[in-house]
Amino acid sequence: MSHYPTIDDANKCMKCGFCMYNCPIYKVDHIESHVARGRNMLIRQAGDKSIPTDADYGERLSYCLLCGRCAAICPAKVPSPDINVAARTNFLSQNNLSIPKQIIYRGILQHRNMMAGLLGIASWVPGISVKDGKPLRHMADFTSILTRGLSLPKLSRPFLSSRLRERTLPPKGTKSRGQVALFPGCAFEFFFADIGQGIVDVLTKSGFEVIYPRDLTCCGLAVRSAGDLHTAQLMASHNIEKLSSFDHIITGCATCGSALKEYGNWFSPDAPLQLKAQSISNKVSDFSEFLAKEGFESQIDEPLTVTYHDPCHLKWHQGISNQPREILRSIEGVKFVEMEGADDCCGLGGAFSIAHRDLSLSIQDKKMQSIKKTGAKVVVTSCPGCLIQLKDGVRRNNLPVEVMHISQLMRGKRKP
């Protein structure tokens, strides 16, 4: 059933405050305007024009990771993250996007070719790309100034689309079990192309023919989260067209997965594309969700202690938390240890980590302590955003821990 949330859904909030118990931001700063209950009240008041929708109001809307924990615990089932996105959309329609954001959302992210072109040029600049796994370090500190200290992954050379054919078959001697389409997402296309290759590798070794549809664009989640719904809908429409002929769509990115599964709710029930969007959503599976159900081939070279971090976009948005653990427990040689607060946020939340760096780091610190306590050598997750944040935390805290996407471990090699 389609549910296209609007700010009117904030009226369902009965102010019990249970969302405060689960909110990663409120747990750190205890400020009411930074948690779903307080924000819902502000959004209600903005809706009936009893408070101004000024820059301060807009800023309060940004104090949210859109992680979905509030909605999960809410007894009245108020979709607070979606309400916030709707409020950001209204806010943006009254206040223009800043010029740099217009360029990023409407120019670059919407048009994959331009993104590939620009990033392709950038990848030749020393220090911001990786070749054969070895970063050239000169520019690393420079880029981290732009992100207020968050270390970003280096660009891959070449990108994933140049490493893969449109169709990759299972290796000879492996029984074919059908065809799947891969939705790689920007992170695996441009930044973690080696992991993208690994995802395809595990799928084919497990017997699946993998199609990489050309000309896909960004899933649009970051753009929608920022409140530019119109551009996000254009991006979704593009992807929906490219994906409509496939029966199974697999993604290794928790964020893209939650976006694709929600496409049906990105369009109002009377929009011409709504039904088609919903039918795409129904065909999407996360990588671990798919393989836990279908079975897979995997073993590792040496015994390893492994812990798992639940990405918000996987656990709270898609309800997937058992499958990755089942997979890890079933790999021979893996000793799985659960960390305290495995489903606590890593603190990235996309642009949140740069806009609210101190809060983001407080949340990250808690996560690092939990990882440290397990004594695990490897922390596995299923989201490139979490990968970035966890790698940043491990580097800042000097932890002897490797951060891996689940496919990297399943691929059977320790070093990516």
Partner 1 sequence: MSDKGLLTSPVDLESYSFDGTTSWQSKPEAVVFPTTTEQVSRILKLATEYHIPVTPRGAGSNLSGGSVPVSGGIVLCTTRMNKIIKVDGDSFTVTTEVGVVLNDLNQELARNNLFFPPDPQSFLAATIGGCVSENAGGPYAVKYGVFKHYLLGLTAVLPSGVILKLGGNTVKNVTGYDLPQIICGSEGTLAVITQVTLRVLTLPPAHKTVIAVFDKVVTSGQAVHRILTEGILPAKIEMMDNWVIRRIEETTPLGLPLEAGAMLLFELDGNTAAVEREAEGVIKSCQQTGAIEVRAARDSEEATNFWTARRAGFSAVYGASPTVFAEDVTVPINRIADLIAKVEEIAKNYNLTIIIIGHAGDGNLHPSILTDKNNVEHFRRAERAVNEIFLAALDFGGAISGEHGIGLEKKRFMKQAMQPEAIDLLRGIKKVFDPAGILNPGKIWEDR
| Widest distance between CA atoms in the chain | 69
Considering the complex, state which of residue 57 and residue 212 has its C-beta at the smaller distance from partner 1. 57
Least spacing, CB of residue 20 vs partner 1, in Å: 5
Least spacing, CB of residue 350 vs partner 1, in Å: 23
- Using CB under 8 A, which residues numbered 17 to 56 contact partner 1? 17-18, 20-21, 29-33, 38-39, 41-42, 45, 51, 54, 56
Q: Is the dihedral of CA 342, 68, 189, 411 positive or negative?
A: positive
CB count in 10 Å sphere of residue 19: 24
Q: What is the Cα–Cα distance from 382 to 129, expressed in whole angstroms?
A: 22
- Using CB under 8 A, which residues numbered 55 to 74 contact partner 1? 56-57, 60, 73
Q: Tell which one of 3, 76, 117, 178 touches partner 1 (CB under 8 A).
A: 76
Q: Tell which one of 14, 103, 146, 275 touches partner 1 (CB under 8 A).
A: 14
Considering the complex, state which of residue 11 and residue 174 has its C-beta at the smaller distance from partner 1. 11
Question: Does residue 281 contact residue 261 with C-beta atoms inside 8 Å?
Answer: yes
Sheet with 129-131, strands from edge to edge, namely 134-135, 129-131, 155-156
Question: Does residue 348 contact residue 309 with C-beta atoms inside 8 Å?
Answer: no
Contact pattern from residue 354 through residue 393 relative to partner 1, giving x for each residue in contact according to CB under 8 A and a dash for the rest: ----------------------------------------
Q: Exposed, middle or buried, 41 (CB in 10 Å: 0-12/13-18/19+)?
A: middle
Considering the complex, state which of residue 148 and residue 276 has its C-beta at the smaller distance from partner 1. 148
Considering the complex, state which of residue 46 and residue 253 has its C-beta at the smaller distance from partner 1. 46
- Report if residue 169 touches partner 1, rule: CB under 8 A: no
- SS3 string, 240-261, reads HHHHCCCCCEEECCHHHHHHHH
Binding-site size for partner 1 (CB under 8 A) equals: 29
Contacting positions for partner 1 (CB under 8 A): 11-18, 20-21, 29-33, 38-39, 41-42, 45, 51, 54, 56-57, 60, 73, 75-77
